[in-house]
Chain A
């Protein structure tokens, strides 16, 4: 079974803190994605990566950055957390030649 794991299920941070969200997949997938999920807005793409060290902006990249140093790991970084970044963050991965994405369980981040 494909497994996508995220470092934390729940995280509470203070405004201005630097926050790291980690995602690891064990199926040698080329593509990895970071989404945020908010009620009524669905899943919105923050950043994605189609190869090691490659990254592309999604629909809402402002306030976020990413890092992909190894194929299996994709990190989302909030340089200076703000309250409007309180949300559920979902990581996903997929093979280069397919469109099915496999999701992790999510990290619920609260910024106070």
Chain B
């Protein structure tokens, strides 16, 4: 089955700096790569996603890049703010509707933005 590895496990940045989280996946059939943000006491929430026919996607201060050849994708947060402090999860999916479009998650990255 799919295996997703995520690095680093913790990341501390100064407010205003950039943060980068990297993930690798094992199954070349995966075609959907979402990123979820989990704030303290809450469930994860989708913040951005990318499909395998796209190399990069941006949404304001966050961007995701995908390298299908190398089977890795990354989350970039620019101009970090204290509210970006959270745990971030990457995930991958082969996207089989009949199988519930299962997601395989990485281990998570705890991001701390220091004011």
Q: Which residues of A contact B (CB under 8 A)?
A: 4, 31, 33, 35, 39-45, 48-50, 56, 58-59, 90, 92, 94, 96-101, 103-106
Contacts and interface: CB of A to CB of B under 8 A. Distances in A.
A62 to B, nearest CB: 16
A56 B97 CA distance: 13
Contact of B101 (A42, A99, A106): A99
Interface string B93-115: 10101111111111110000000
A99 B32 contact: yes
Interface stretch (B13-21, B38-46, B58-66, B73-81): B38-46
Nearest to B109: A42
Contacts of A103: 36, 43-45
Nearest to A97: B97
Nearest to A9: B41
Contacts of B105: 35, 42-44
7 contacts: A31-B100, A42-B108, A43-B105, A48-B100, A56-B100, A90-B44, A96-B97
Interface in B13-53: 32, 34, 36, 41-46, 49
B6 A49 contact: no
